């Protein structure tokens, strides 16, 4: 996924990043030093489809590393909270 593709999706789905931040901060409050962005991603799916009983909206697994990068960019104190593979987005 390119940064442009992520930016396009993120701009049209701000509720996804809000959920990502909410669930990430819940994990941080438990005292964990590291966690999985993919686990947060699946938590968003669970929350929207099971807890909120919303119709399933499309959420691509390839977005989770980009949301992890966005979170660490917005909250640099948590840089390294998500372990990530190097990608093109890291060069920006």
Residue with tokens 């499309």: 58
Do 6 and 63 touch, CB atoms closer than 8 A?
A: yes
pLDDT digits 0-9 by tens, 30-87: 999 999 999 999 998 887 776 666 665 567 778 899 999 999 999 999 999 998 666 5
Buried b or exposed e, range 36-70, using 16+ CB within 10 angstroms:
ebeebbebbeeebeeeeeeeeeebeeebbbbbbbb
Do 40 and 27 touch, CB atoms closer than 8 A?
A: yes
> DSSP alpha helices (H): ranges in the chain?
3-12, 14-29, 37-46, 64-74
The pTM for the full model equals 0.82
């Amino acid at each position: 996924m390119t940064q442009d593709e992520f930016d396009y999706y993120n701009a049209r789905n701000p509720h996804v990043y809000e959920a990502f931040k909410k669930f990430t901060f819940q994990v941080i409050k438990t005292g964990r030093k590291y966690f999985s962005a993919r686990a947060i991603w699946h938590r968003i799916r669970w929350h929207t489809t099971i807890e909120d009983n919303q119709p399933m909206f499309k959420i691509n697994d390839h977005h989770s590393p980009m949301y992890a990068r966005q979170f660490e960019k917005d909250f640099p104190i948590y840089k390294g909270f998500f372990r990530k593979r190097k990608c093109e987005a890291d060069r920006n």
